[in-house]
Structures are given as C-alpha cells and as structure tokens.
Structure 1
Amino acid sequence: MPPSLAPEPYILILTCAGLLIALVAWLPLALKRLPLSLPIVCIGIGALIFLLPQVRLAPLPIRYPEVTERLTELVVIIALMGAGLKIDRVVGWRRWAVTWRLLAFTMPLSILAIAGLVNWALGLPLAVALLLAASLAPTDPVLASDVQVGPPKTGEEDEVRFGLTSEAGLNDGAAFPFVHLAILLSASAVSGEPWLAEWLTYRVAWEIGGGIVGGWLIGRLFGWLTFHVPAKTKLAKTGDGLIALSATFVSYGLTEIVHVYGFLAVFVTALTFRHTHRSHDFQNDMHDLTEQVERLVMMVVLILFGGALVSGLLTAVTWTDVGVAAVILLVIRPAAGWIGLLGFRAVPGEKLTLAFFGIRGVGTIYYLAYGMNHMAFAGAERIWGLAGLIILGSILLHGLTVTPIMRSLDRQQGRDPDVEENPASEDDPPTKADRDGAVPCADRPAAAPAIDVRP
C-alpha cells in the first residue's frame, strides 16, 4: 500500500523548527541595515501560517490564558538576564541617572495617563483601566533589542542605548506593584476589604526589596562559583554559556517561591553576576547563548501573535480604541519620557529618542494575562483587542523607524554605523595561536580593564 502523501504532524513540526532556527540565525544579519525589524517579519510569518486552511488552531490569548502567561513569562525572564549581562556600566546613582528618571517619573506618569484615558474614553472600571495601564507602561525588554546596548565589552553603550536597556530591565519589576494594585482594587470592590496596607507593605516594600536582595545574593553565588572558586572546578572552565540560563531559572524560581518579584530578581542577578568579573571573556559566552535562546522563543511568541491577529484578536476593536491606541503611542509615552528627562544633561535628539522608543510587546501580553488570570471582569475580548492593537502599532511604528533613527544618532555622535569594532572574516589567515592551539579564552586573564563609562 503506497504511503500517504500527507506528512505526519511530527515531521512537519521538525521541519518548521529547523526553518525557525535558521531564521533566528540569519534574519538579524539580513535586516541589519533595512528599515525593517525581526518582530515585523515574525508577525507576517505567523499571519501567513495561520491563514492556511490546514491550520485550524486559533492562538487567541483569551482561549489559552495559562499558556499565554507562562510562555511570555519565559521569554521575559530570559530577556532580562541577557539585558543585565550586556550592560558595562557599574550601578551608581549618578551613572544611572537616566534610568532612575525613566523609572521614577516616566513610568508612573504613563500609568496615570493611560489609566485616566481608558477610564474616560472607554468607560472601563478603575481596576481594569489600571491593569491595562500597568501592562502598557513598561518598555519591553524582549522587543527592544534593536535599541539596546551591544554585547559585553564592545563599547556600544551610549546614553540612549544604556537608558533604554536599563529601563527595560528594571521597569518590569517596578510595574508589578501596579498590576497587583489593580487586582486588589478589583477584589476590594467585591469584598469591601481594605487594600492599602497590604499593597504598601507586601506588594511594594517586601516584594521589591526581597527581589533586589534575592537577586543580588543569587548573582553573588553564581559569580563565585563561575569565576572565583579554585581554578579546576570553577564553572567558567566549561566555556558553556548555559550557566546563564541556569542563573536565570534559579533566580526566578527561588525568589518566586518566597513571593518576591522574580523579574526584578533576574535582572539584579544578571547585573551582579556580570560585576563579579566584568572583563572575563566568559561573559560573552553567556550573553551569546542567552541572546540566541531569547530570540528563538521570542519568534515563537510573535508567530503565535501573528496567528492571533488573523484569528480575530482585533474583532472587538472600535474606532475609539484606535484613537486611544494612537494617543498612547504617539502622545503619552513621548510626553512622559520628555517630562522625566527635564533637566537631564543630554542633547535634544537623545532625549527625543529615549522618550519615543517606549516599545510595547511581550511584557504587555504577560502582565495582561497575569492580571486576567487573577481577577474577573466583563469585556475581556475588547481589552485584549486594544492591547493587541497597541502592540502591533508599536512593533510597526518602532520597527520601521529604529534602524534609520539609531543610525542617524550614531553618525551624530561620530560613529560609523556601517563599521564594526572588530569585524571577523572567514578569510582572515590563522594566527600563531590558532596553529599552535591557543589556551581557551576563559582561562586567560583579561587583556584590557573593564570599560569605564562614567559620564
């Protein structure tokens, strides 16, 4: 009997996985100089796949709330580790001034403005408006890679890239108290129980403080095991960047067990891990592995998001919602960013870039899924539709403008965006170390001191 012409689902999954991994490796290079971003391409691929009549799955987040929450949670924590590992700048009050401004002024102003807008324009209850605002306010650490600093020790850390990277790393933890505030307000409206004391003492003081301390302790532990135990047993000898994923999951898991903010802990772990030996070449191994895994899982999420768009995610969206989305993207974030940077020493072009690139994405999906899994309200389809519209608008708006804007910024600062610091060529002749068998770079002392980027 001749075999069926229809391939088995398992074989199709393997084939698609292979193609996806190839795209993970190739697309960033192909898109480097084009006014087009990897997320846009992934959404387009997802839309095409889920438009096929053979594909009957509708990956709508409202149908799969638990899967949506866990999958996006995974992407965010991996992105937070990668962001922390690539930052060269030592944490300090003055050195991180741009970060503190974006966290202390820009994000709260954004939450207040978005909550007020959707409450007034859409008539949403206060708790729902606050949940949506807290989900939309943070800069996404996953989709902001094009405006973040370069790999460790490359020197690609101007004020704009550093500000957006550090903001994306910390504001996920800083936004969580507002998500919990929305949940508490929703529960209080039903039960009448007080919420302020619990919110201030537990959700703010304990969970933020515990996240910072827990992340620091775990980062110190992994830094000691990796770089400072006796030479024959230190983890850096392995040359295996999987240690970064281990630190990510351990940090997130242990801190969540004691009910503190795991997102904040992971980023602090990454910063502390990096600080234990800032100039070691193993930092690059960990960053590269983390970046590859992050990109792979991100592409999966965005392909599913593209499928959700063509499966009816935006069906409940009205023209009023379109106007609200435009105000959030084009007015609220830029205005809040500009206000937060008043008095900050930077040229207007840098301030405008910092204020403009408040990218919304995977983090928004996570917070919204988390909130909806912990509170009940009517009209969830419209909320998901509005959030999806804003995420799509952000990906298109920022994805199409990021390359020309960042290249223009590089030229203004005297850098040639077409020249890499140390371009590698497959045609380069082998060095003597290559011919004789070089000692693995992880076992050699660093050739240069850590970069000093104090302003």
Structure 2
Amino acid sequence: MKDINLILAAVGLLVLVLGLLSRPIDRSWLSPPLVAFCLGVVLSPIGLGLLDPSAWGDSHHVLEEATRLTLGISLMGIALRLPARFPFKHWRSLAILLCLGMPIMFLISALLTQWIIGAPLLIALLIGASICATDPVIASSIVTGGVAKQNLPEGFRHLLSAESGANDGLAYPLVFLPILLLTKPSDAVWLEWFSKVWLWEVGGSVIVGALLGWCCGELLKWSERKGLFDQPSFMSITLALTLLVLGVGKLLGTDSILAVFAAGIAYDQRVSGQDRSQENNVQEMVNLFFTMPVFALFGLMVPWQEWLALGWSGVMLVMLVLLLRRLPMILLLRRWLPPVRERGIALVMGWFGPIGVSALFYAVLASSRSGNDLVWIVGSLSVFASIIAHGMTAAPFARLYARKSANLDQ
C-alpha cells in the first residue's frame, strides 16, 4: 500500500508541475520526458530509495504493459492532432519514410551495434529493429507547444507526427524477424513471418483498427443526431476507443499499437471540425497525464551497472546512432519529401528522430522473447541518450531554424 500511495503522489506531483510550468519548460532546455525521467531516478533505489520496481514482481512485464498503454494513448493523440486528410494527401512522403527510411535506420543501427560492441548479427539486428522507430511521445513534445508552433513549419510538424505514428507499429515485423530466426527452425521462419506477422498481425491490425475507429465515428454522429450525446462525454470517447482497440487488438493477436493509429485516423475522417477540436484538446490533456509517468517508471528501472559495463563502447554507440541513424537518410531522401525539401528543415527533420517509449516497449519485449538482456541494455541506453539530446535541443534548434529562415528571407 505504501508503494501505491507513493506512486499516486509522484504521478500527481509530476503532472501538476508539468501543467503549471508548461510555458517555461517548453521554452527551456528541459523537456517533459526529461523531467519525468529525473523524478523516477530520484525515487529509485539509486536515489532516495522510496520505490523499488524489483519488489513488484516481473518489472520488465510491468514496463512492457505500461509502454503499450502509453503508446496507444499517444498514437490516438497524434491521429487526432493531424489534419484529417494529411496522411492521404502526403501518402508518398509517408511511404518513402516508412518503406525506405525505416529499413535504412534499422540497418544502420544494427551495423553500428555489431561494429562497436561486437554483438552477434541476429542480436544486433534485434537491437537495430527495437530502436529504429521514431518515438511518438518524445516527438509530440518536440512538435507541440508554443515554441514549435511559432518557429517550425506546419508541414514538418505534421509529417514528423504522422511518421512517428505509423512506424511504431510497422517496426513490429522488423523486431519479430530476428526473434523468429533466434527461436524457430530456419525452414519455418519465413513462412511464419510473411503469413502470421505481416498478413495478420500487421495487416489485420490495420483492418481491425480502421473498422473500430470508423464505427465509433459513425456511432458518435448517430448519437448526436438522436440527441443521446451529452457534450461532456467527449472527454471519454477517444480514451475509450484507445482502450477498446488495444484490448481487442491484443485478444485477436494483432499488432494493437498499429491498430490504435489506424483507428484514430479512421475515426478522424468521420467527426466534424468542432468535434475534432474538442477531442484534440481532451486528448492532449490525456497524453500529459498518461504518457509522462512511463518515463518516471523508466527512471526507476535504469540498469546503471549494465550501462557502465559497456564502457566507452556504449557511449560511442549511442552517439553514432543519434548522428547517423537518421540524418543521412533524410538528407538523401529530402528531394522526394515536399514538406522537408528545403535543406534547413531537412536538417531539423534528420536530427529529431527521437528514440523513446516505442524503443522501451520493443526492447523489453525482444529481451523477454529472445532471452538476451543486451537488447534491453542497449535499447534503454539509446532511449536515455535520446531523452537528453533531443529534449535539450528541441527549443534551441527550433528558434535557431526560425532565425536562419528569417535571415534568408531578408
């Protein structure tokens, strides 16, 4: 009971501080994920020792489920924040980022892992797959707020949001390919990967999510026409839809994370502009309340000793991953990405490919499925480095880009 009350108090304090100080935090080198992470470290056994996740049973399973819920809520928020037609209008840019960009980031991360720390090939591929996706939670903290809206182009912010929403779910088959190669007979791997993982767990999730989202939007319109819908009920609609899709998707054995994003996009096509505005505001509040505590949980579970055991190789690996995993790819492909075709914003897009909650989710999942702790150690270290690097540079880089653009226009 003591732990429960401490957790309630910590979460309440965290959200209260982030809410009351949102403007100065948004304009500083701090970021909400970094503040939440630091709170977790302070409460952890290495800090004040008030909370110890190892006493809760399987702490990795707790983190896996917490990150899955967090991703679901964040992806629904992204789907509602995007203009309704944006994913369809810019489908070519999204297809390039997902079909070319994400595999490139996967391979670069895997090759760097094998080269620097000497991980076996399949483990290196598993680590590369776990950290290749652009995290929607940290990305949201970069592209929302007053500083981002004042200094960064709308097209860039929407494209980064849409990419981070879609590639979290599409990293799923990349993660499961090395898991299958590690745990299944080689003659059965490719058939299972194509038929089960791609066709059902990925394709089925899109169908299930889109169907549930579309039906929810139609039911909302029907309820309004019949006078059955009370305005305050808006606060519960998208949160309920998120939980419904996460639960149904998991029960059906699909990629429930991708299903939530598909549901949000489909739902978004059916609601009116006024409804979208109200849902968006509510979802941003829900995002703050539910997504930041997962970084505090990460701060409680940091594997400090394992990180130190990697030595300078670990430091070199995460630095090169942050520099080379994404930036060269965006600069190479920018001519085919209209929202970020200009070199300055392409540099911003190339730098801000954060590694966060999605990497934590896949790292603990892959570690448990493969039985190899190196996936969790390197994955969590990459998340820590991204929280620091991307969180601290978000506001300064946004203002720097705006100043450079203003000077060029003069």
The TM tier, using the shorter chain, reads 0.7 to 0.9
1:318 aligned partner:
311
- Note closer, same or farther for the CA distance 1:119–1:371 as it changes in structure 2 (3 Å cut): same
The residue number in structure 2 matching 1:118 is: 113
Report what 2:162 is aligned to.
Answer: 166
Q: Which has the higher helix share?
A: 2
Q: Which amino acid aligns with 2:13?
A: L
Task: Find the aligned partners of 2:205 and 2:303 in 1 and give their Cα distance.
Answer: 38
2:328 and 2:38 map into 1 onto residues whose CA distance is 31
Whether 1:339 and 2:335 are equivalent positions in the alignment is: no
1:374 pairs, out of 363, 369, 375, with: 369
1:36 aligned counterpart, secondary structure: coil
User: Residue 177 and residue 48 in structure 1: after superposition, are their counterparts in 2 closer, same or farther (change >3 A)?
Assistant: same
Give the distance between the partners of 1:17 and 1:395, measured in 2 at CA.
19
Q: One-letter code of the match for 1:66? A: H
Letter in 2 for 1:125: P
Given that residues 241 and 287 in structure 1 are in contact (C-alpha distance below 8 angstroms), is that contact kept between their aligned partners in structure 2?
Answer: no
Once the two structures are superposed, residues 227-261 of structure 1 have per-residue CA deviations (whole angstroms, 9 ceiling, x without a partner) of: 23453445464443211111111122222222222
- More deviation, 331-340/169-178: 331-340
Hey, what's the Cα distance between the residues in 1 that align with 2:296 and 2:244?
Answer: 28
1:409–1:369 Cα change, 3 Å: same
Amino acid at match of 2:326: R
Q: What is aligned with 1:292?
A: 285
Q: Which has the larger radius of gyration?
A: 1
Judged with a 3 Å threshold, the aligned counterparts in structure 2 of structure 1 residues 119 and 226 are, in CA distance, closer, same or farther, namely same
Change (3 A) 1:301 1:229: closer
**Which runs of 5 or more structure 2 residues have no equivalent in the other structure?**
none
Deviation by residue 1:125-182 (Cα, 9 ceiling, x = unmatched): 233222211110000011111333579xx99971210111000100011100011112
Of stretches 39-48 and 359-368 in structure 1, the one that deviates more from structure 2 is: 39-48
Pair 1:340–1:63, CA change in 2 (3 A) = farther
Q: CA deviation at 1:112?
A: 1.2
- In the other structure, the counterpart of 1:28 is 22
Distance (Å, rounded) in 1 between the aligned partners of 2:85 and 2:2: 52
Contact kept? 1:147, 1:164, Cα under 8 Å: no
- Separation in 2 of the partners of 1:322 and 1:61? 30
Counterparts of 1:134-283 in structure 2, within 5 Å, are: 134-148=129-143, 158-188=154-184, 191-229=185-223, 231-235=225-229, 237-280=231-274, 282-283=275-276
Task: After superposing the two structures, state which structure 1 stretch, 46-55 or 328-337, moved more.
Answer: 46-55
Three-state SS of the structure 1 residue aligned to 2:258 is helix
Q: Give 1:67-106 correspondences, 5 Å limit.
A: 67-91=62-86, 94-106=89-101
**Shift in alpha-carbon separation, 1:347–1:53, aligned structure 2, 3 A:** closer
Q: Take 2:381 and 2:305, find their aligned partners in 1: how far apart are those partners?
A: 12
Change (3 A) 1:61 1:399: farther
Change (3 A) 1:286 1:157: farther
CA contact (8 A) 2:127 2:378 kept: no
Classify the secondary structure of the residue corresponding to 2:71.
helix
Change (3 A) 1:123 1:408: closer
Whole-Å Cα distance in 1 between the matches of residues 86 and 112 of structure 2?
A: 35
After superposition, the Cα gap between the structure-2 partners of 1:61 and 1:268, relative to the gap in structure 1 and judged at 3 Å, is farther
The secondary structure found in structure 1 opposite 2:301 is helix
Compute the TM-score of the two structures, normalised by the length of structure 2: 0.88
Residue 304 of structure 1 is matched in structure 2 by: 297
Quote the residue 1:443 is aligned against: none
Unaligned runs of 5+ in 1: 1-6, 415-455
RMSD: 2.8
- In the alignment, the residues of structure 2 paired with residue 320 and residue 350 of structure 1 have an alpha-carbon distance, to the nearest angstrom, of 31
Structure 2 contact 126–375 (Cα < 8 Å) conserved: no
2-structure distance, mates of 1:28, 1:320: 36
Counterpart of 2:106, as a letter, is I
- 1:360 partnered with 2:355: yes
How many aligned positions are there?
400
- In the alignment, the residues of structure 2 paired with residue 28 and residue 310 of structure 1 have an alpha-carbon distance, to the nearest angstrom, of 30
Counterpart amino acid of 2:379?
Answer: A
Letter in 1 for 2:135: D
Alignment correspondent of 1:49? 43
Within 1, Cα distance between the matches of 2:303 and 2:127?
A: 22
Note closer, same or farther for the CA distance 1:315–1:121 as it changes in structure 2 (3 Å cut).
Answer: closer
Q: Distance in 1 between matches of 2:114 and 2:49?
A: 41
1:406 Cα deviation (Å)?
2.0
* CA–CA distance in structure 2, aligned partners of residues 336 and 356 of structure 1: 11
Q: Which residue of 2 aligns with 1:403?
A: 395
